[in-house]
Structures are given as structure tokens and as C-alpha cells.
């Protein structure tokens, strides 16, 4: 994986760049739709490509390991071929999912033991195994296994957790270096900065991550219960430590406002289930504000969902029709809202990139922040 | 509505024809996808048009009356505009839905009183009101209100029910003649032959229906519990009575085999929820047989869903991937299966038409019957 830093916005840390992978290039900053089990919910692959203009999507190691399983994925020739997606894929390590299993998992020095949420079967994820699984998945960007403490964890726990995550990172990194991709293209391995909300732990973690010299670096353990302000601070405290010539990925973030603030702080890649999950519940994000499509006010609004919207669905269907579909619990409602929201998130990051390149990001961001947080 | 009879298959009653409506033409025989509340479940309108090649879709008067309601539909300029569908629409009268409400409805001479399945509110459907609602919906083909007895109804009940349905038909017809379409195009009104499974009642009903001289005629109250053989017989007993120069619609039928048999007996139009409902449950109909996509046997079958299939999704996704999506309860599974099944049903009726025109229908039907009933 290569990264070319193409522009930096004056007065902010915002950057425009170009990532090159074995499955093509990615213009940053970029939002990455989440396709947990190999499908971005309610969206066809060609819609992701042509309507949403997704440049890269996510898969989840925990979920894909359980279903369809590594044997099937291996025989399919990797996840790209299995799902019919030719552009880049990033896989989360599954750490976050395993740790949210609560009483179904047990932390050990060598890894984390857990029971499947599907059939209760027992499994062990080690830093090495998680690399092996991602080798089989064939993701272009693989993530290290980490322990994910809650955003409100006490310092003593955070300290202990960070040490374990670092030991796991070194093991994962070593295993990554000793193994190779299975399908003829190279896979990057990304460590992630942890440290809960303790600036000194975050900085310590960033030093260690920077020292590895990985092709990309991530920040994990944010947007898990702490305030947005604290999250932004945690992004900033490691900005001077993480190398500027490698892409920076902020995991699991967030609202359109979060996305803008993260870009402002030099983040290049983001992912979140919010556009699809909230979309399925009737919430539409637009450049003019947030629309709750179940609201009565749309019942007789026969204008297009969004005349100047980023996807064809915005002009194909009216607000009144979309509201009706939500009220009547029709699947098409979820399909339309998912495409719209993802297309909006991709528009937002692409537009941020244009503004960065044009030297107008700071002002645009201020204006856009007011728009995207408004309730329509 | 006009109907041009274009060809009749030798040795069978199968026919090819062309219906002309205010929203374009329909080549028959034709299968009509069901869009009960203004959406064919899990399928975008452009997919219906380009992938499924639907020529006409159904809406349901009962459901649309309750949601979004006639006021919204009227202000939208009718159902076509409301949902963004420019081709013809046929609406069922809602009789079938109201009568399946069981203890929530009360039969009266003037109509049927019922409580909404959504909020329990009380409503009355009369033959006239059902015409008015369909005028507001703006469907190209409207259906008369009928009482729908079960396929196993005793003769005395069937007799009484038929008399009521006939009195309602005459009232509905009169009201239809006294009213006009609201949106500048004409709407056809179709009576339907009832009579449960009693040949003499069916014939009597067909005489009355034929005498009306409507632009199209339907057969209702079939595929509601009687055997397929009895259903076929009930189609045949009225064939010589219903005018040959008007399209014949068999309501709510059925499996691919039922479709072939109905076409063989001179039916021109059919509808059924089976392709979408069974599709959502993992059953795929193909010209080579039936596939249960949840079956383990597809887990490592990386070939396309159907190499020679009727829709793009058949080549875009593999059997293994589609199975995985069903097992993982992903919405995309329902989307793919719905498009495939509908496209197959439309292919089946379009191919029947070609065979009728080529004079090869009888042999083709025999071969196809064996294929479509096979389990793969």
C-alpha cells in the first residue's frame, strides 16, 4: 500500500491524499461503508460502486470467520471474489466485536477466548490467528488484534490494557512480516493507537505504533462512550507523533459533524454503521440537515427526497413516498435510505477533499457543520 | 383498454395478445408482480423495469386505502406518480384482503364493514366506494368488489355468496359507468367470475360477467385451498363463455407449473406473491428447477446463481454467496432472490408467448413443466 500526500489545508491539519492498493486507488479523505458479513446492508455491490461511489468497504474478521468461515473464503479465492467486489477492502480485526460479547469471552495473555454469538461454539483469537484469518479473507488492509476497553475505563485498567494490546501488536506484526498474501497481491497491516482517554497513554501508544513503520495507522477505542470533545482531543494529541506520510484511519466514527471534525484534525479514513443503521430506522443525513422520514410533515411533500442529492434515488422517489414506505415497513424504504446516506457520506468526504485542494476547507467546514447538524 | 388477440396455439387454448392502456402496452400472456402497498417488496422501480422487465404491476385497494390513504394519493396525482412507476397498474379490489380479516369484518347487503388491521378503525367497503377508491388510485385496470368464499365452501354458501357478488358487480359496474378517471386517462373495470368449485355456478357467473361487456374479465376465488386439478377445471368450464377478444386474468396464481397450465387454458394475465414471498425465504425458481438457497449443498458452489438466468443478479453473484447472505440474514439476500424470481416469472410468460407465436407451445410446455417442478 502506498500513500501520496497531495495537499494540506492551510490553518488546519486536513489533508488530501491518494492511497494505492492491489485493488486500485483511494482518494482521501474517504468514508468507508461497513459490510460486516460481506454485504453492506440493503445495498447491491453495483449500487455501492455507481450510486454511493464507495472506493473501499469494510468487512469484519470476527463475523466472516464465523460465517461463511475461512475454508469457504479460501476456496472462493478471498472475500473480493466471494462477494463480487473489485475495489479495496479493509477488515477490522474483530477485537471490538469479541470484546462486546461481555460474558461470552475470556481475556488471556495469548489471546481472547470467546463463544460464538451464533451457536455458542468456543474459539480463540490470538494476534497471529487474526493475521492468518485476514490473509485468508484477502483484505487489502488488515488490522491488528487489540483489546478494546470502554471509553470510560479507569486509568489502571487502561494502562494494563494498553500494555497487552502492545504485546499483541508486536506479535501480530512479527507474524504479518513472516507471512504472505494468498492471492497474488500485497496486504497492508495496520496497528492502532489505543489508550482510552488518557493523553499520555495515547502518546505512548502512538510512539510505539509510529516506530513499527506500518503502511497505515489507525486510532481505535474512540467513539465508545466518551464525549465528542474528548474524542477530538485524543485525535489531536497523537497528530505530531504519527507519521504524516502514512494514511490515518479513525475507526468507527461517526456523525457527519464528527467526520468533518476528524478530517479537520488530519484523519484520512473513517468508517461507521451510522449511515446504514440510522438509515434503516428512517433517518436521512443531507447537506441541508437531518430528516426523520417517519415524521408526519413529509406525508404530503411530493418533492424529491433531495433535488440536489448525491444519489439517483434522491430524484427517483418523493419524500411522501419514502415516508409511506417507512410507515408501511416496506424493505424498499431501507434500501433507499441506505443508498442515500452512504452516498451523502461519500459526497461529504469527496467534497472535503475538493475544498482542501482548493484551499477553502476551513470556511467550508464551518458552514457545512451548521448545515449537517440542523433538523429539517 | 384495448386487446388484440395475436395468436392462438394449435391444440391448446393458449393465446398471445396485446393490451393497450393509457400507460402503454402489455404483451400477453404476462405475469404481474405484486406491489401491495405501492412497492414490490425489496425491488426498486428501475429494477422492476430493467431487470425484471415487468410490464404491469399490482396494487391493493384495501392496503392503499388504509395507507397512505386516498387523500395523499389524490394529491400525488395517483399511484403511478406517487410511487414513480410509468407503466400500467392493476388494482385488486381489496375484497380478498377484507374477507381474510375473519372476525374483524361483517358482511352486509350494502357492502362489507371491517376494522383496519393497523389501528382497528372501522370502515365500510361498498361496490361503489371501491370504484371511487380505485378512481383515486388511478389504476389502469380496476377490479369489482366480490365476496371471497373459501375454496372448500359448501354449495349453499357458494350459491348465496355468488348472488351477493353478482348484485355487487351490477352496482359497481353502474357506478363505474357513471364516473370518470381523475387523471386524464381511461380506466378499465374488470368483473370476476366466482362460484367456488361448482361448475354450474362458475358457468352462471361467467354468463353474467360476459354479458357486461367489460374490457377485461377475471377469475377469482381460485388457488384458495382447492386442488390444482380442480382449479384447472374451473378455468376450463368458463372458457367458451368468456369472450375470446377480451383479456382473461386469473387472480393470485401461482407456481411456475400453475402459470404454464393456466396459459395452456387461455389465461392472459396472472399475479402472485409467490416469487417475492418464497424468494425472501430462500426459494429460487429457475428454468432448470427449484433451488432452496439455505441448503448446505450451495455453501461451496461458486458458480453464478444461474449462468443463463434472466436477470443481471444471476451472473453478478454466486450461489455460495447468496446462500451465505440467507444464512446470515442479510437484506441483500431477499433483494437478489426477489429480482431473480420475478425476472424468471416474466421470462416464463414471455417465452410462452414466443412459443405460442412460433406454434411450438404445446411441446415446449410439456418439457418446461418437467424442468420447473424439479428440485435442484
Q: How many CB atoms lie within 10 A of CB A229?
A: 9
Inspect the interface and report whether the beta carbons of B84 and A317 lie closer than 8 Å.
Answer: yes
pLDDT at B275 over 80: yes
Inspect the interface and report whether the beta carbons of A320 and B38 lie closer than 8 Å.
Answer: no
Which helix (H) or strand (E) segment is A14 a member of?
none
Catalytic hit among A140, A146, A271, A314: A271
- Nearest to residue A231, comparing CAs of A189, A186, A264, A273? A264
Residue A92 a catalytic site member: yes
How far is the alpha carbon of A29 from chain B, nearest alpha carbon, in Å? 28
Residue B92 a catalytic site member: yes
Chain A residues touching residue B84 (CB < 8 angstroms): 316-318, 321
Which helix (H) or strand (E) segment is B262 a member of?
helix B256-264
**Alpha-carbon gap, residue B219 to B221, rounded angstroms:** 7
- Nearest to residue A67, comparing CAs of B279, B338, B303, B330? B330
Chain B residues touching residue A35 (CB < 8 angstroms): none
Catalytic hit among B119, B271, B300, B329: B271
For A141, phi then psi, to 5°, come to -130, 120
**Alpha-carbon gap, residue A333 to A376, rounded angstroms:** 19
**Alpha-carbon gap, residue B292 to B286, rounded angstroms:** 11
Give the three-class secondary structure for A249: strand
Residue A306: the pLDDT is 97
Residue A225: the pLDDT is 82
CB–CB of B1/B21 below 8 Å? Answer: yes
Chain B residues touching residue A97 (CB < 8 angstroms): none
Residue A152: the pLDDT is 85
CB–CB of B330/A42 below 8 Å? Answer: no
pLDDT bin (cut points 50, 70, 90) of residue B344 is very high
Nearest residue on chain B to A69, alpha-carbon basis: B324
Give the gyration radius of chain B's Cα atoms. Answer: 20
Residue B278: the pLDDT is 98
**Alpha-carbon gap, residue B21 to B3, rounded angstroms:** 9
Residue B180: the pLDDT is 97
B254 preceded by a cis bond (ω within 30 of 0):
yes
How far is the alpha carbon of B164 from chain A, nearest alpha carbon, in Å? 32
**Alpha-carbon gap, residue A346 to A342, rounded angstroms:** 6
When CB atoms are compared, the residue of A41, A43, A45 closest to B316 is: A45
Residue A179: the pLDDT is 98
**Alpha-carbon gap, residue B188 to B314, rounded angstroms:** 36
When CB atoms are compared, the residue of B45, B320, B324 closest to A316 is: B45
Calculate what percentage of chain A has a pLDDT beyond 90.
Answer: 91
Q: What is the mean pLDDT of chain B?
A: 96
Beta bridge partners of A8: A15
C-alpha separations of B231 from B152, B226, B366 in Å: 12, 7, 19
Count chain A–chain B contacts defined by CB atoms under 8 A. 115
Give the three-class secondary structure for B292: strand
Tell which of A49, A81, A321, A334 to mutate to test the B interface (max B CBs under 10 Å).
A321
Tell which of B44, B70, B334, B340 to mutate to test the A interface (max A CBs under 10 Å).
B44
CB–CB of A218/A143 below 8 Å? Answer: yes
**Alpha-carbon gap, residue A346 to B39, rounded angstroms:** 27
| Chain A residues touching chain B at CB-CB below 8 Å | 37-39, 41-46, 63, 67-68, 72, 75-76, 81-84, 299-300, 302, 313, 316-318, 320-321, 324-325, 327-328, 330-332, 334-336
For residue B127, give every residue at least 6 positions away whose Cβ sits within 8 Å of its Cβ, in sequence order, or none. B111, B144, B145, B168, B169, B171, B172, B175
pLDDT bin (cut points 50, 70, 90) of residue B89 is very high
For A165, phi then psi, to 5°, come to -55, -40
Give the three-class secondary structure for A96: helix
Query: B181-203 b/e with 16+ CB inside 10 Å = b?
Result: bbbeeebbbbbbbbbbbbeebbb
Indicate left, alpha or beta for A330 from its phi (over 0: left) and psi (-120 to 50: alpha).
beta
pLDDT at A101 over 90: no
Inspect the interface and report whether the beta carbons of B324 and A41 lie closer than 8 Å.
Answer: no
pLDDT at A153 over 80: yes
Nearest residue on chain A to B339, alpha-carbon basis: A44
Pick B220 or A142 by higher pLDDT: A142
Nearest residue on chain B to A336, alpha-carbon basis: B44
Nearest residue on chain A to B66, alpha-carbon basis: A328
Q: Longest Cα pair distance anywhere in chain A, in angstroms?
A: 62
Inspect the interface and report whether the beta carbons of A335 and B75 lie closer than 8 Å.
Answer: no
Chain B residues touching residue A327 (CB < 8 angstroms): 67-68
How far is the alpha carbon of A85 from chain B, nearest alpha carbon, in Å? 10
Residue B96: the pLDDT is 84
How far is the alpha carbon of B321 from chain A, nearest alpha carbon, in Å? 6
Length of chain B: 376
Catalytic hit among B2, B92, B146, B264: B92
pLDDT in tens, B326-342: 999 999 999 999 999 99
Give the three-class secondary structure for B311: coil
When CB atoms are compared, the residue of A83, A318, A328 closest to B321 is: A83
**Alpha-carbon gap, residue A187 to A166, rounded angstroms:** 21
Inspect the interface and report whether the beta carbons of B67 and A316 lie closer than 8 Å.
Answer: no
Inspect the interface and report whether the beta carbons of B325 and A39 lie closer than 8 Å.
Answer: yes
Residue with cell 466518551: A226
Query: What single string gives the DSSP state of each residue in B73-136?
Result: HHHHTSHHHHHT--S-EEEE-SHHHHHTTGGGEEE-SS-EEEE-TTT--EEEE-HHHHHHHHHH
For range B139-161, the mean pLDDT:
93
- Nearest to residue B291, comparing CAs of B281, A68, B335, B223? B281
In degrees, rounded to 5, the angle at the alpha carbon of residue B134 between the alpha carbons of residues B128 and B140 is 130
Chain B residues touching residue A331 (CB < 8 angstroms): 39, 41-42, 331, 334-335
Nearest residue on chain A to B45, alpha-carbon basis: A316
Length of chain A: 376
For residue B206, give every residue at least 6 positions away whose Cβ sits within 8 Å of its Cβ, in sequence order, or none. B193, B237, B238, B241, B242
| Chain B residues touching chain A at CB-CB below 8 Å | 37-39, 41-46, 63, 67-68, 72, 75-76, 81-84, 299-300, 302, 313, 316-318, 320-321, 324-325, 327-328, 330-332, 334-336
Nearest residue on chain B to A35, alpha-carbon basis: B330
pLDDT at A167 over 90: yes
Query: A348-357 b/e with 16+ CB inside 10 Å = b?
Result: bbbbbbebbe
- Nearest-10 Cα torsion for A34, A36, A41, A46: 70
* Strands B217-219, B192-193: pairing kind: parallel
**Alpha-carbon gap, residue A25 to A198, rounded angstroms:** 35
Nearest residue on chain B to A330, alpha-carbon basis: B41
pLDDT in tens, A203-246: 999 999 999 999 999 998 888 888 899 999 999 999 889 999 99
CB–CB of A64/A38 below 8 Å? Answer: yes
pLDDT in tens, B95-119: 888 888 878 899 999 999 999 999 9
Amino acid at each position: 500500500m502506498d500513500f501520496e500526500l497531495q495537499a494540506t489545508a492551510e490553518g488546519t491539519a486536513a489533508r488530501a491524499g491518494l492511497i494505492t492498493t492491489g485493488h486500485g486507488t483511494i482518494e482521501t479523505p474517504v468514508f468507508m461503508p461497513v459490510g460486516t458479513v460481506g454485504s453492506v446492508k440493503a445495498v447491491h455491490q453495483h449500487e455501492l460502486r455507481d450510486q454511493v461511489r464507495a472506493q473501499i468497504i469494510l468487512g469484519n474478521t470476527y463475523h466472516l470467520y464465523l460465517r461463511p468461515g475461512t475454508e469457504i473464503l479460501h476456496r472462493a479465492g478471498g472475500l473480493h471474489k466471494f462477494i463480487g467486489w473489485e475495489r479495496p477492502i479493509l477488515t477490522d480485526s474483530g477485537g471490538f466485536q469479541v470484546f462486546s460479547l461481555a460474558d461470552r469471552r475470556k481475556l488471556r495473555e495469548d489471546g481472547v477466548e470467546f463463544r460464538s454469538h451464533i451457536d455458542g461454539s468456543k474459539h480463540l483469537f490470538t494476534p497471529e490467528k487474526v493475521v492468518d484469518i485476514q490473509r485468508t479473507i484477502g483484505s487489502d488492509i488488515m488490522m491488528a488484534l487489540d483489546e478494546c476497553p470502554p471509553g470510560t475505563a479507569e486509568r489502571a485498567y487502561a494502562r494494563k490494557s494498553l500494555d497487552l494490546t502492545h504485546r499483541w501488536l508486536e506479535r501480530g506484526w512479527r507474524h504479518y512480516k513472516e507471512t504472505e498474501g494468498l492471492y497474488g497481491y500485497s496486504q497492508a497491516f495496520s496497528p492502532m493507537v489505543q489508550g482510552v482517554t488518557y493523553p499520555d497513554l495515547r502518546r505512548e501508544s502512538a510512539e510505539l505504533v509510529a516506530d513499527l513503520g506500518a503502511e497505515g495507522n489507525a486510532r481505535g477505542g474512540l467513539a465508545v462512550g466518551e464525549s465528542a470533545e474528548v474524542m477530538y482531543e485524543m485525535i489531536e494529541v497523537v497528530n505530531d507523533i504519527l507519521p504524516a506520510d502514512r494514511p490515518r484511519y479513525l475507526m468507527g466514527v461517526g456523525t457527519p459533524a464528527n467526520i468533518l471534525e476528524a478530517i479537520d484534525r488530519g484523519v484520512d479514513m473513517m468508517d461507521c454503521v451510522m449511515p446504514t443503521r440510522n438509515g434503516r430506522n428512517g433517518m436521512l443525513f443531507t447537506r441541508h440537515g437531518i430528516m426523520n422520514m417517519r415524521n408526519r410533515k413529509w406525508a404530503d411533500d411530493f418533492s424529491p427526497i433531495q433535488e440536489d442529492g448525491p444519489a439517483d434515488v434522491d430524484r427517483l422517489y418523493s419524500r411522501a413516498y419514502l415516508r409511506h414506505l417507512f410507515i408501511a415497513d416496506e424493505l424498499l424504504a431501507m434500501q433507499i435510505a441506505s443508498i442515500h446516506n452512504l452516498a451523502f457520506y461519500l459526497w461529504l468526504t469527496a467534497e472535503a477533499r475538493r475544498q482542501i485542494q482548493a484551499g477553502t476547507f476551513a470556511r467550508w467546514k464551518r458552514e457545512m457543520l451548521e448545515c449537517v447538524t440542523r433538523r429539517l
